[in-house]
Amino acid sequence: MPTVAAKPTTPGLGLPIAPVAQGIEGQNDLLLDALLHLSAKSATTTAAPAYPAVGDAYIVPASGTGAFAGQTNNVALCQPQSIKDGVPSAAVKWVFLAPKLGMTAFCQDTGLEFAWSGTAWGVKGSGGIQGPLTAPANSSAAGKAGQCYFDASGLLYICIATNTWRKFTGATF
């Protein structure tokens, strides 16, 4: 019985990559795969990793450097430089996409789901509790009542009214 070569698929959802012979370069297949179920490695990584894998995605924070510089809030997708006969090349490049209203992304490093409000990424929560991606800069930073942010040091920030934040220190009990 002849051996059938496995057809290349996208890294996330396993969609088949269209070969060049079909008039499609395959790049759109990879973008579609990433955006249908966006699973970002991180939303706080400031520099592109040295050895990313095709399909890796990041939400670029405001302090982005190197390849991520000037791409604040954009989704960075690692894509192959080229695709030949449906097979992605080993060489990669970064493609940056502006988020669209309502776009969601699961962040692997935090285990949280984020949503794009049209102006910022925030933690998507239940019961209307949502938060910004970073702690508010001060007590009058932009925010909506009910948003909250917590950090690894135990600080909890709660927006009690429009643009009015309170900071709480967590304590063991």
Pick 151 or 132 by higher pLDDT: 151
Give the tens place of pLDDT for each residue, 105-119.
998 988 888 888 888
The average confidence (pLDDT) of the chain is 78
| Domain range summary for the chain, segments of one domain joined by + | 1-117, 118-169
Q: What percent of the chain has pLDDT over 70?
A: 67
Give the tens place of pLDDT for each residue, 21-60.
544 455 566 667 667 788 999 988 999 998 888 889 999 9
What does DSSP assign to residue 6? P
Using the predicted structure, report yes or no on whether residue 68 has a pLDDT greater than 70. yes
Q: What is the pTM of this model?
A: 0.64
